[in-house]
């Protein structure tokens, strides 16, 4: 059934009075088979009859459908076999004597066809255009007398034995099964139920409850609750089958998210964790000494939670705290920058996998979520940058004092090539050796990146070099940032490539600088500080452009969140109203004509 998507769910409940649930249900979307059976007779008989019936029918259907049997004929055969089997068991075992069961089943062999079979008073209904219609006639003695014209409906209504069944599965060795076909339409909601539902709730209440539920699962749950509020004097079962998306829902679900960004994110936590795990997060040296599961929880799990809280409150404070405590602990034990950078790369990849998944359902919503997530990630990286800036400053100070003691090891920087995000004191404004050093680094990097021919990389390189050459970091790089960003649209969804280009360029540029043997340690240190600040300034300018560009979309996200919140409140109010039973709800369904 590729064209029509079917969703189904069922629930059976002992009710409020009976001690045992003698109903049995079956829901199988793969087979397209849905059943409700209501057992009767003896102490153990009822439950045995309904379960045996279900077992025989499901078994035969499963095997027969695999062999390509015609579904309706197969179902008839299976029901009759079930009746024969129950009858046989009842005669063999004194305790089960007289047992039997009702049966109502639907198979959906084609996208637009339902075949309904029933025996007894379990029912099938269809909900179409918010109207509930019954599809089966009860097999009671009285109803069959009415059908034969021997009783009027009025007489039947007042008949003392109105609920005595005229047929069941198992009472006799053979059973007459009533079949009907029904053309289903997209948007139909089918209901199968035992008399524990329609005996304890009015037609109108069933209609209202079934029509008001979001999905089959909540519909089945609400109907069982409805029967209980009506007294719950019998076992109650409901199986609800949705044929395709409901026509009225089509627009609503594509423009209104069913959940806000935080919920969409949190629901995909397993996906996020899985991507992080596969990218080797637990093997990161930041996680050294931790068991894999522990590492996943501490690094990916807490990040995921922090993002959730930030999305929920539209702040960055949780990710900031996460990054701050993680990175300060890491640097406190002399950790290097690279593993932290790799860690954040993995977290970013996991986040973007979530965005991709969200976008498949709703592209606009995906774009909004991506902006919010990138903001979280930028906050995280800013924190890392700030911490690293502090580290570099410490090293600088150490260097200066060592310089004063005239023993300067040239390799000190190389293990910590990175981007500082804090202000640093930069000296030597017009030192030709610094200019030379920057020029050499620029040329070497340009050569290295040339093979890529990527205009973004060249732009970044030129802008940062020019900025570092003039002076450090204080240059206004917002025009360059706008140019970089200007070639991309928000709807392209993925700002990752630009951020990657920024990272790549920065790494290569600083690395080439540190390779230099030609200049003095002092000039190298100054050049490094300037270049670092230039990269910082560009990154900073870029994140401002992103945040600015994302403002309309984040406003939209907020607006959508507000709408979802209103819908929720509305639903909560409705539920509250429903939970106060009206007089009509208390009446059994006999008022139905």
**Closer by beta carbon to Ca ion, 86 or else 384:** 86
Q: How far is CA 203 from each of CA 134, 228, 347, 452, rounded to the nearest angstrom? A: 9, 15, 53, 71
**Closer by beta carbon to Ca ion, 197 or else 533:** 197
Classified as helix, coil or strand, 307 is: helix
**Closer by beta carbon to Ca ion, 76 or else 233:** 233
* Minimum separation from the CB atom of position 102 to Ca ion (A): 8
* DSSP for residue 20: S
* Minimum separation from the CB atom of position 247 to Ca ion (A): 34
The stretch among 49-57, 232-240, 305-313, 375-383 that binds Ca ion (CB under 5 A) is: 232-240
* Minimum separation from the CB atom of position 35 to Ca ion (A): 15
Hey, which residues between 235 and 254 contact Ca ion (CB under 5 A)?
none
Classified as helix, coil or strand, 40 is: strand
Give Cα 370 distance to the centre of its chain: 15
**Closer by beta carbon to Ca ion, 212 or else 233:** 233
Question: How many whole angstroms separate alpha carbon 562 and alpha carbon 485?
Answer: 30
E-assigned strand segments in 15-102? 23-28, 33-40, 100-101
**Closer by beta carbon to Ca ion, 229 or else 540:** 229
Strand partners, 180: 116
Q: Quick one: 453 exposed, middle or buried, by C-beta within 10 A (0-12, 13-18, 19+)?
A: exposed
SS3 content of the chain, % helix, strand, coil (to 5): 60, 10, 30
Dihedral sign of CA atoms 224, 226, 229, 231 in order = negative
* Minimum separation from the CB atom of position 163 to Ca ion (A): 9
* Minimum separation from the CB atom of position 196 to Ca ion (A): 5
With binding defined as CB under 5 A, does residue 38 bind Ca ion? yes
6, containing H or E segment: strand 6-13
With binding defined as CB under 5 A, does residue 234 bind Ca ion? yes
Hey, which residues between 284 and 323 contact Ca ion (CB under 5 A)?
none
**Closer by beta carbon to Ca ion, 38 or else 370:** 38
* Minimum separation from the CB atom of position 195 to Ca ion (A): 5
Question: How many whole angstroms separate alpha carbon 317 and alpha carbon 310?
Answer: 7
* Minimum separation from the CB atom of position 38 to Ca ion (A): 4
The stretch among 38-46, 83-91, 175-183, 511-519 that binds Ca ion (CB under 5 A) is: 38-46
**Closer by beta carbon to Ca ion, 38 or else 585:** 38
Q: Quick one: 142 exposed, middle or buried, by C-beta within 10 A (0-12, 13-18, 19+)?
A: buried
Number of residues that bind Ca ion (CB under 5 A): 5
The stretch among 165-173, 228-236, 271-279, 450-458 that binds Ca ion (CB under 5 A) is: 228-236
Contact code string over 157-196 relative to Ca ion, x by CB under 5 A: -------------------------------------xxx
The stretch among 45-53, 227-235, 335-343, 512-520 that binds Ca ion (CB under 5 A) is: 227-235
Q: Cβ distance 13 to 21 under 8 Å?
A: yes
Residues in touch with Ca ion (CB under 5 A)? 38, 194-196, 234
């Amino acid at each position: 059934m590729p064209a029509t998507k079917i969703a189904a769910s069922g629930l059976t409940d002992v009710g409020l009075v009976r001690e045992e649930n003698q109903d049995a249900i079956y829901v199988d979307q793969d087979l397209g088979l849905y059943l409700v059976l209501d057992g009767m007779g003896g102490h153990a008989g009822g439950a045995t009859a309904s379960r045996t019936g279900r077992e025989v029918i499901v078994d035969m259907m499963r095997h027969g459908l695999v062999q390509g049997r015609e579904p309706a004929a197969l179902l008839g055969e299976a029901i009759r076999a079930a009746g024969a089997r129950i009858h046989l068991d009842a005669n063999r075992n004194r305790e089960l004597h007289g047992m039997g069961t009702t049966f109502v089943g639907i198979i959906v062999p084609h996208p637009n066809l339902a075949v309904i079979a029933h025996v007894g008073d379990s029912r099938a209904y269809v909900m179409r255009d918010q109207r509930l219609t019954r599809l089966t006639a009860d097999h009671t003695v009285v109803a069959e007398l009415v059908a034969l014209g021997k009783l009027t409906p009025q007489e039947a209504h007042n008949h003392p034995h109105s609920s005595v069944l005229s047929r069941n599965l198992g009472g006799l060795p053979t059973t007459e099964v009533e079949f009907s076909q029904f053309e289903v339409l997209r948007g139909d909601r089918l209901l199968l139920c035992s008399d524990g539902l329609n005996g304890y709730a009015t037609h109108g209440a069933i209609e209202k409850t079934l029509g008001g539920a979001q999905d089959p699962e909540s519909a089945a749950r609400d109907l069982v609750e409805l029967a209980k509020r009506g007294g719950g004097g019998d076992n109650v079962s409901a199986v609800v089958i949705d044929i395709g998306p409901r026509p009225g829902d089509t627009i609503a679900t594509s423009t209104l998210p069913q959940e806000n960004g935080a919920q969409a994110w949190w629901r995909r936590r397993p996906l996020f964790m899985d991507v992080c795990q596969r990218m080797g997060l637990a093997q990161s040296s930041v996680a050294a000494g931790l068991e894999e599961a522990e590492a996943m929880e501490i690094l990916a799990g807490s990040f995921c939670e922090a993002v959730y809280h930030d999305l929920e409150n539209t702040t960055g404070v949780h990710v900031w705290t996460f990054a701050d405590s993680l990175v300060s602990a890491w640097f406190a034990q002399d950790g290097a920058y690279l593993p932290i950078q790799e860690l954040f790369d993995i977290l970013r990849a996991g986040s973007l996998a979530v965005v991709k998944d969200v976008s498949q359902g709703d592209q606009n919503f995906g774009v909004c979520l991506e902006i919010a997530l990138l903001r979280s990630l930028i906050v995280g990286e800013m924190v890392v940058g700030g911490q690293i800036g502090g580290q570099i400053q410490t090293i600088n100070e150490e260097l200066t004092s060592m310089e004063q003691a005239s023993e300067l090891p040239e390799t000190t920087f190389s293990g910590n090539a990175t981007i500082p995000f804090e202000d640093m004191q930069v000296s030597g404004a017009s030192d030709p050796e610094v200019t030379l050093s920057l020029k050499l680094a620029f040329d070497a990097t340009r050569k290295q990146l040339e093979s890529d021919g990527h205009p973004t990389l060249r732009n970044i390189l030129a802008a940062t070099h020019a900025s570092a050459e003039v002076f450090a970091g204080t240059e206004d790089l917002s025009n360059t940032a706008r140019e970089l960003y200007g070639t991309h649209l928000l709807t392209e969804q993925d700002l990752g490539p630009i951020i990657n280009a920024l990272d790549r360029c920065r790494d290569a540029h600083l690395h080439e600088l540190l390779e230099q043997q030609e200049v003095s340690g002092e000039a190298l240190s100054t050049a490094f500080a300037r270049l670092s600040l230039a990269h910082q300034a560009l990154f900073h300018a870029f994140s401002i452009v992103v945040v600015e560009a994302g403002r309309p979309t984040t406003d939209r996200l907020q607006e959508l969140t507000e709408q979802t919140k209103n819908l929720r409140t509305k639903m909560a109010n409705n539920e509250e109203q429903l939970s106060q039973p009206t007089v009509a709800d208390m009446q059994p369904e006999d008022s139905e004509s």
